[in-house]
Amino acid sequence: MTKVNLLEMMNSISLVCFLLWTGASSFKFEELTQYVSNHEEEFIETLRKWVAVESDSSDVTKRPDLHRMMDMTAEKLRLIGGTVDMIDVGTQALPNGSTIALPKVVTAQFGNDTNKRTVCVYGHVDVQPAKKEDGWATEPYELTDINGNLYGRGASDNKAPVLAWIHTVEVYKALNIELPVNVKFIIEGMEETGSNGLDDMIVAQKESFFSDVDYIIISDCVWLSKRPALTYGTRGNCYFFAEVEGPKKDLHSGVYGGTVIEPMTDLIGILDKLIDPSGKILIPGIREAVAHFSDEEWKMYQDIEFDLESYKQEIGMDKLMYSNKVDLLAHRWRHPTVSIHGIEGAFSSSGTKTVIPAKVIAKFSIRQVPNMDPATVEKQVKDYLYSVFAKRKSPNKLNVTMVIGAKPWLADPKHPLFEAGKAAVKRVFNTEPDLIREGGTIPIARTFQDVTGKSIIMLPIGGFDDGLHSQNEKISRYNYIEGTKLFITYLNEVSQIQKY
């Protein structure tokens, strides 16, 4: 054998060894993804059955449906060979003083090979309230296929993504192909109302369920545009009640109007001092706490695919707060905002009613960003509103309370988890993903980060126009099916992250 032939043979052996090490030769991409395409209708039928369950976590009368949804989730995981547990997380206190059982949290495990990476997939199967009369074009709990879009409450948030992950494991199992990583699931039923009981469960499971977990994946978010995205940050949320109480009972405006200082007038007055017409937050200390916007971050925002005109059309506005992409995205993702959500106690039904409410409660929130702290924000808001109210010299009483104090979450977009995400998106969609942040709040991400110390990625498959929490929520067939292929591919990419 010549030296040239020997050298060629050694190079070939080295290449084979490299391919085996990276998993490139063993990943059956075509076989796995073709199986998904072949079983599209079957996967949609499963989603149809899940959407049909009215698992509204905010309505205690629907609690039996929510329990049934958790049972269905556990059974689906058992059917594909998972080791499944249903963990009791306690009870929920109701306003009347009674209690009701919280839905159990479902956990599952597939594989326990210590030589493999272990990922934990988080999701939820509870939904926001929905009624046809709210403005839905279809029955919200009947999955309806219109022009390739699957309409139904919870379709995108979060039942289809949860099922896509379950189908991911199911496809590997059905083809008798070994999972490239160990996979764990943690699926809850109270996300839409604050994940009651879940934080305590995560703390309790830190040294057991989470002990061998390397990475946590959350797919409870959506793309920014038609281009796939990887999400590396979310805003937190401080939610407040501001209650103004005056007379001992509601009064007739014709009889008493002009003789009393009305609670509603006081309330509107202090709400007007939260934010100015340009969007500037007037509460001292809030804007000053925001993390610096670096040149590198500015460049990342500049490269993101985002169309201002399409955004305007989507929300039905001809003018936005900001006229350029970077400013708009920055104020949507990494700057705090004040939003006034409603006033309890005010007359809001159709028709006319000449009433002076005796007590009114405003509900507003401030989205948190790095480096803001909810405890500090609570003090800033209370001190400011009590000061503003005192200047009115009103005989009415003001009481401000913070009922939610969720911290923001931020990951390093240069972490290998995101590099794996880029590779998976490139293979499935043949494009580079956008690296984005999310304006909303997913409190569990920060809990996972603080309690377990594990690295986290948000890997969305929902579309930018899915209408989460709104009427006519949907997920497209394309996103559901191609998203499943993305998850399948992502597991392979994660398996190649070197252990340190």
Q: Which long-range contacts (CB under 8 A, 24 or more apart) does 286-292 make?
A: 286/336, 286/366, 286/372, 286/377, 286/380, 287/336, 289/371, 289/372, 289/373, 289/376, 290/334, 290/335, 290/336, 290/369, 290/370, 290/371, 290/372, 291/334, 291/369, 291/370, 291/371
Find all residues with CB under 8 Å of 40, minimum gap 6, and list them. 477, 481
What is the C-alpha to C-alpha distance for residues 85 and 399, in angstroms, rounded to an integer? 43
φ/ψ (deg, to 5) at 46: -65, -45
Residue 455, helix vs strand vs coil: strand
188 is catalytic: no
What is the C-alpha to C-alpha distance for residues 177 and 36, in angstroms, rounded to an integer? 14
What is the C-alpha to C-alpha distance for residues 367 and 340, in angstroms, rounded to an integer? 12
| Measured CA distances, 210 to 77, 103, 281 (Å) | 19, 21, 40
- Selection from 210, 190, 212 nearest residue 202 by Cα: 210
What is the C-alpha to C-alpha distance for residues 182 and 141, in angstroms, rounded to an integer? 34
276 is catalytic: no
Find all residues with CB under 8 Å of 330, minimum gap 6, and list them. 293, 301
Detail the DSSP E strand segments found in 77-192: 83-87, 91-93, 99-101, 105-110, 118-124, 144-146, 149-151, 182-188
Q: How many residues does the chain have?
A: 500
φ/ψ (deg, to 5) at 401: -130, 145
Catalytic residue among 191, 192, 220, 493: 191
What is the C-alpha to C-alpha distance for residues 382 and 399, in angstroms, rounded to an integer? 9
φ/ψ (deg, to 5) at 196: -50, 130
Catalytic residue among 54, 56, 65, 126: 126
Instruction: Give CA angle at 365 (446, 403), nearest 5°.
Output: 70
| Measured CA distances, 251 to 150, 258, 261, 359 (Å) | 49, 12, 12, 11
The answer to whether 106 and 77 are in contact (CB under 8 A) is yes
Q: Which residues are catalytic?
A: 126, 191
